[in-house]
Structure 1
Amino acid sequence: MLEMRNVSYEVDNQRIIKGIDLKVSEGDTIAIVGPSGSGKSTLFRLMNHLISPTDGTITFEGKRYEDIQPEQLRRSISYLLQESDLFDKTIGENLAFPSVIRGETFDKSRASSLLDAVGLGHYEFDKRVEHLSGGERQRITIARQLMYKPKVLLLDEATSALDTANRDKIERLIFDLADEGVAMLWITHSNDQSIRHFKRRIQIVDGQIDKEESLR
């Protein structure tokens, strides 16, 4: 579904990503591990077409990235950043945003289901997000990202601000999507998390795939 062939990325004469080959298939669950500064987040930015490789090619469903409109691509390949990026408005306005940019009707039923799934079903849509804790904001960000089911989901330390109970809720929600065919790549610094649920684990060191292993 998504394939990187000999992909490199260089900025200011520094090669951050070096000759990566990677295939991602439907329903794949891949843990991405490695030391800080090894290029993991840059790899995701390449996959999400936020930046373009300086060498190599990336294809999605057989089409080169250059031949796909970036916004169209990002509706299929969803990138969930580590930090909450909510608007300082209400929960409802944040959850409605994906439908607004698509010109579609806000699915309040799905929004309510997602709020329940992330453990925030007790809040009304008119609750202002400025009054939420950091962990609650992160869970609202996750719910907003999943208002539309992507084909590929990229997660960068998505549960880092959560306690164990809420982390487990988010993992169940996301791995249920993998069971429905969504491919998922998850950057994590938790060794325990990197071997739980995942089919594959890829270690990135100095911008290269240092090790790849099958976990099941």
Structure 2
Amino acid sequence: MTTDFPLLDAQGIRYAVQGRTLLAPVSLQLQAGDFLLLTGPSGSGKSTLLKILASLLSPTAGDIRFEHRDLISLKPEWYRQQVSYCFQTPQLFGETVYDNLALPWQIRQQKPSRDALVASLESVHLAADMLDKRVEQLSGGEKQRVGLLRNLQFLPKVLLLDEVTSALDEENKKVIQQLIRQHVQQQQLAVIWISHDASEIRHAEKVLRLVAPAQGESHESA
């Protein structure tokens, strides 16, 4: 599905702290159904860019438009349901996995069925009894998958993924990649995914490569 204007349009985004540039100017456009891999060396500002696009940081310069509307004109709570950021190391809430997966439902004053949450867990190779497991007992890979599933309970229009498979083995990485690509193809989800996976980058239709600000130009798209 295409429109006359991008779903998400970021132009000249720059970020600096105390005179030090952490993200040199970068521009990108995203349509519904786009899958964009974001790559580059440490210090090039990949996570910073995603946090700015998620409205978790304010850029030093540049403009962001969502569905042709200026970001500053949108209610943050509404925007963050449309453009959802998934951390590399997610901050889990409450006491159990159930608390985390139920949170997006509770925000919308709805109650999820346990069967639906169990099916969600099983889609990323997590057992049904994981639902009542305490968050402090989870491994790093389990936390990453629970954090991602929390973001997918109500599908956003744009999903920003910050190395969300870094703690997973190869089999489970493929499971997550397949799940996300399924949403892209079937639900027209737009995704920006930070990745260092050479195979994933090589086969990607869209790649944005960042370089460290001190090295000159901040972006090179392919």
What TM-score comes out, normalization by structure 1 length? 0.92
**Contact 1:94–1:144, Cα closer than 8 Å, also in 2:** yes
SS at match of 2:132: coil
Q: 1:164-214: CA deviations, max 9, x gaps?
A: 111111111111111120000111122122234x3201100124543211x
Can you give the 5+ residue segments of structure 1 that lack an aligned partner in the other structure? none
SS at match of 2:84: strand
Picking from 95, 118, 125, the partner of 1:112 is: 118
Q: Does 1:212 align with 2:221?
A: yes
**Contact 1:110–1:147, Cα closer than 8 Å, also in 2:** no
Q: Does 1:170 align with 2:139?
A: no
The aligned residue for residue 76 of structure 2 is: 70
- Cα separation, 2, equivalents of 1:88 and 1:132: 13
For 2:27, the aligned partner's letter is D
Cα deviation for residue 111 of structure 1 reads 1.8
| Residue pairs, 1:34-183, within 5 angstroms | 34-87=40-93, 89-179=95-185, 180-183=187-190
Can you give the 5+ residue segments of structure 2 that lack an aligned partner in the other structure? 1-6
SS at match of 2:128: coil
Cα deviation for residue 124 of structure 1 reads 4.8
The aligned residue for residue 22 of structure 2 is: 16
Of 174-183 and 119-128, deviating more is 119-128
**Contact 1:88–1:130, Cα closer than 8 Å, also in 2:** no
- Cα separation, 1, equivalents of 2:97 and 2:47: 27
- Cα separation, 1, equivalents of 2:113 and 2:67: 28
Cα deviation for residue 88 of structure 1 reads 5.3
SS at match of 1:10: strand
- Cα separation, 2, equivalents of 1:14 and 1:79: 25
How many positions carry a matched residue from both structures? 212
Q: How much is the aligned-residue C-alpha RMSD, in angstroms?
A: 1.6
SS at match of 1:125: helix
**Contact 2:26–2:219, Cα closer than 8 Å, also in 1:** no
What TM-score comes out, normalization by structure 2 length? 0.89
Q: 1:47-73: CA deviations, max 9, x gaps?
A: 001111222210000110100011111
